[in-house]
Structure 1
Amino acid sequence: MNEWLKNGFFLGLGAAVAGTEKVQTYLDDLVSRGRITPKEAEQFADELIKRGETKEQEWTESSKTKMKSMFNDMGLATRDDLERVEEKLTHLESLLKERQMKDRNDDNE
């Protein structure tokens, strides 16, 4: 599963880099032909970056939700589940130690 996520990340990263390069080439071409100014090209590129970041955040949140749902459907424990189990285990261990100490004290009397 981890390899699958990593491959998906690199695929997205590669697409973003390729897309960025194509946009920059297109903007450079528009500037060289005098259709837009360098400042307009920069503003357009900045706007695209902002939109991309917004979409990335939306995708990340959506992906997290879907992954949590998938893990839940598969019956996998969450981090919170594991922390609750660890707390219970720690509590039970301390109760067991107390009981063992009490039993030893009762045996010594």
Structure 2
Amino acid sequence: MSDFLKKGFLLGLGAAVTGKEKLEKKLQEMVEKNELTQEQAKTVMHKFMDKGEMKTDEWHTKQFEQTQQMAKDLGLATKEDINELRARISELETQLYEQERQEH
């Protein structure tokens, strides 16, 4: 992961943690003032956490796509490329073995 992307991710993570802590504090205050029930506060917190997980998944997907594109742009072989080549080599070795067996 590039240093720039890593710093951006960590900054976002720090903001999310701070946001979570502030939200928990605000929800607790609202419960204490009887503006929300404990169950409502839990629901709001779960929705916040679910949204954060969705954003994390989106970020990972985008990061993967960007990494794949960089590898392609640089002409680097991906794991999938290597696995495909291994499969082709194995198939060719099998064909060669079969040919040699038939000739002898």
Find the counterpart in structure 2 of residue 68 from structure 1: 68
Percent identity for Structure 1 against Structure 2: 33
Structure 1: gaps of 5 or more residues: 100-109
Q: How many residues align?
A: 103
Q: Distance in 1 between matches of 2:59 and 2:40?
A: 28
Structure 1 residue 29 and structure 2 residue 10: aligned? no
1:4-28, Cα deviation, whole Å (9 max, x unpaired): 6655554443332222111101111
TM-score of the superposition, structure 1-length normalised?
0.65
Bigger Cα Rg: 1
Q: Equivalent residues in 2 for 1:11-90 (5 A)? A: 11-88=11-88
Structure 2: gaps of 5 or more residues: none
RCO higher in structure (CA 8 A, sep ≥6): 2
Segment drifting more, 56-65 vs 23-32 = 56-65
Segment drifting more, 52-61 vs 70-79 = 52-61
